[in-house]
Amino acid sequence: MFDKLQQLETQYDALTAQLASPEVTSDSARYQKTARAHAELDEIVTEYRHFQRIREQAAQARLMLHEPDPELRKMAADELAALEPEAAASEERLRQLLLPKDPNDDKNVVLEIRAGTGGDEASLFAAEMFRMYTRYAEQQRWRIEVLSASESGVHGLKEVVAIIEGKGAYSRLKYESGTHRVQRVPATEQQGRVHTSAVTVAVLPEAEEVDIQIDAKDVRVDTFCSSGPGGQSVNTTYSAVRLTHLPTGVIVSCQDEKSQIKNRAKAMRVLRSRLLEMEQEKQHQAIAAERKQQVGSGDRSEKIRTYNFPQNRVTDHRAGVTMHQLSETMDGKLEPLLQAVSAHFQAERLKQETAA
């Protein structure tokens, strides 16, 4: 590991020198490319230098343990007791930073939420889940745009599809895919019994045209009148668009805009993202067959999290994390939970890399 870190530090120093050279600064394209490469190495080199400083301080403290003065020896022992855990934590961060980065981490997100088992109660919870992610996106200063939504008779959501645009959106939300279970007393329950309902969440990295090429002849385009609340164009013009990808059978609809052209463009963004997810799923399954375990499948049949309202408790079953802050979580304060889940998956990746 340390040989690799030394190589990265050497590359970083070379890039730093290039950024200051007139040959690079005078070439805009070359400067931007060099600056990006420099920025990618900045965090890991900064942490590596921090680790080196701690290790040097610890080495000096160990030498002081042999001093004849007992006070100096005690100071050295105290300093070493503080430095050793810090060095271990820094080394662990370095191991995580050396893990291969997910190429999708910086992409926007296509968020899909659907009511599952539980009827009206599931649709109500789907609406609350969408509000939770919307509030979180607002806190991160991300932009969220609804592409399509289907309301239930009790003002819940049967289904909602939205795009979340913002730096690091996919890296933060990618582990949210799966079945989310809710346990609470529904508003329609007369006897106060706790019911269990579920919604499914899909978090897809938004695919770009260079990621997925779609042949025009493989897509059937149908237009229809928009439904639901809206202006004069609703139910009077064929502005809503339904795209069917014939080779896979994937269907995407969009009726958010009054313009058919805009709806078609939005639907195509979602279609590309779904096809990208299908392609990545095939790759994950191939890896799983080789390793005899599935890596990063995003299997939606597994219940990943339970929201227990009577006990104000949220539990992530993958990371084994329980927090008694359900009301804050539903209000969009997701960061503690997301960090715990991310740390769990990073630890799993470290185990896999070590075993490989």
Summarised one tens digit per residue, pLDDT across range 140-176 is 999 999 988 888 888 899 999 999 999 889 999 999 9
Range of weakest confidence among 27-31, 278-282, 324-328: 278-282
For position 142, what pLDDT does the model report?
A: 96
Q: Per-residue pLDDT tens for 110-137?
A: 999 999 988 889 999 999 999 999 999 9
- Looking at residues 49-60, what average pLDDT do you find? 94
Torsion of CA 82, 85, 88, 90, to 10 degrees: -60
Q: Which residues contact 241 (CB under 8 A, 6 or more apart)?
A: 221, 222, 223, 253, 254, 255, 260, 263, 264, 267
Check whether 276 has a pLDDT greater than 90. no
Query: CA nearest 307: which of 125, 41, 58?
Result: 125
For position 265, what pLDDT does the model report?
A: 86
Q: How confident is the model at residue 284 (pLDDT cuts 50, 70, 90)?
A: low
b or e along 321-338 (b: 16 or more beta carbons within 10 Å of the residue's beta carbon)?
A: beeeebeebbebebeebb
Where exactly are the structural domains of the chain?
2-97, 109-355
Collapse the DSSP code of 29 into the 3-class scheme (helix H, G, I; strand E, B; otherwise coil) and give the result. Answer: helix
Range of weakest confidence among 18-32, 91-105, 148-162: 91-105
Q: Per-residue pLDDT tens for 316-334?
A: 999 999 999 999 999 999 9
Check whether 233 has a pLDDT greater than 70. no
What type of residue is 235?
N
What type of residue is 161?
V
For position 190, what pLDDT does the model report?
A: 67
Collapse the DSSP code of 229 into the 3-class scheme (helix H, G, I; strand E, B; otherwise coil) and give the result. Answer: coil
For position 148, what pLDDT does the model report?
A: 84
For position 294, what pLDDT does the model report?
A: 29
CB 299 within 8 A of CB 288: no
Q: Tokens representing 324?
A: 């008694």
Q: Tokens representing 156?
A: 């819940």
- Looking at residues 84-89, what average pLDDT do you find? 92
- CATH for 109-355 is 3.30.70.1660
Structure letter (DSSP) for residue 350:
H
Q: What are phi and psi of 193, to 5 degrees?
A: -85, 145
Collapse the DSSP code of 13 into the 3-class scheme (helix H, G, I; strand E, B; otherwise coil) and give the result. Answer: helix
Q: Which fold has domain 2-97?
A: Methane Monooxygenase Hydroxylase; Chain G, domain 1 (1.20.58)
State the DSSP H helix or E strand holding residue 14, giving kind and residue range, or none if neither: helix 2-19
Q: Tokens representing 240?
A: 């809503």
Q: How confident is the model at residue 60 (pLDDT cuts 50, 70, 90)?
A: very high
What type of residue is 174?
K
Q: E strands of the chain, at which residues?
A: 109-115, 143-151, 157-165, 178-184, 195-205, 219-224, 240-245, 250-254, 303-308, 313-316, 321-323
Q: E strands of 225-336, at which residues?
A: 240-245, 250-254, 303-308, 313-316, 321-323
For position 97, what pLDDT does the model report?
A: 81
